[in-house]
Structure 1
């Protein structure tokens, strides 16, 4: 019986704890190319509609 108690006292334990600091996920997505294409297309359309702007 003493052997069983000693064996139970040596079993490893796993503790799950929440982190003290919040988890941050950095999603730096570059949308520059898409925005630039849209702006260039819109600028070309505006210039065709109003060639006297420039």
Structure 2
């Protein structure tokens, strides 16, 4: 009986040392803030000939 207990003792001690990994969902939901303000300005430089053409032919665009 003592031999059997001595054989099981190391096995019992080693099972207590096994690592445990736990995956759990968070308690509160994940929120992503997407409040983004985008501003831009476009500056176009044109030659005087092109500017005159655009003024005379407004049907181009």
Normalising by structure 2, report the TM-score: 0.43
TM-score, normalization by structure 1: 0.47
Question: Bigger radius of gyration, 1 or 2?
Answer: 2
